[in-house]
Amino acid sequence: MMDALVRISSPSPSDTMAQPTPPEASLGALIMTFYKQAGSGDAKTLTRKELTNLIKAELPNIPGQKGGPEVGDLMTMLDQDTDGSVDFKEYITLIGSLACATVF
Ligand SMILES: [Ca+2]
């Protein structure tokens, strides 16, 4: 009985890890979004079409999207290794840039 009360009042580290914090949940959402949109063909990269779909479907409310760079230009900017697709690291560059543009 006492043990149960102690567990409820002071959760163990594994209990506190059960619920993700908002930043952890956001990271999970960003990762899931990438892999959801990269799903066809090479599931580890975004083609130009998949990048377009991701932006239209997942980021429709980001300020500055209208009047921002065309997807073709965005693809060129993000595709740092010029392999014609956007991998996860290149995608995170987009997310970081959008975060900075939203805050500043
Ligand atoms: Ca690339």
pLDDT, tens digit (0-9, with 9 covering 90-100), for 5-34: 344 445 555 555 689 999 999 999 999 999
d(CA 58, CA 64): 15
Q: How far away, in angstroms, is 52 Cα from ligand 1 center?
A: 15
pLDDT of residue 1 exceeding 80:
no
Q: What tokens does 28 get?
A: 């999970």
Distance 26 CA to ligand 1 centre (A): 23
- Residue 80's contacts (CB-CB under 8 Å, 6 or more residues apart) are 90, 93
Q: What is the pTM of this model?
A: 0.73
* 75 touches 86 (CB < 8 A): yes
CA of 91 to the centre of ligand 1 (A): 9
pLDDT at position 61 = 81
- What is the CA(62)–ligand 1 centre distance, in A? 23
101, 64 contact by CB (below 8 A): yes
CA of 35 to the centre of ligand 1 (A): 15
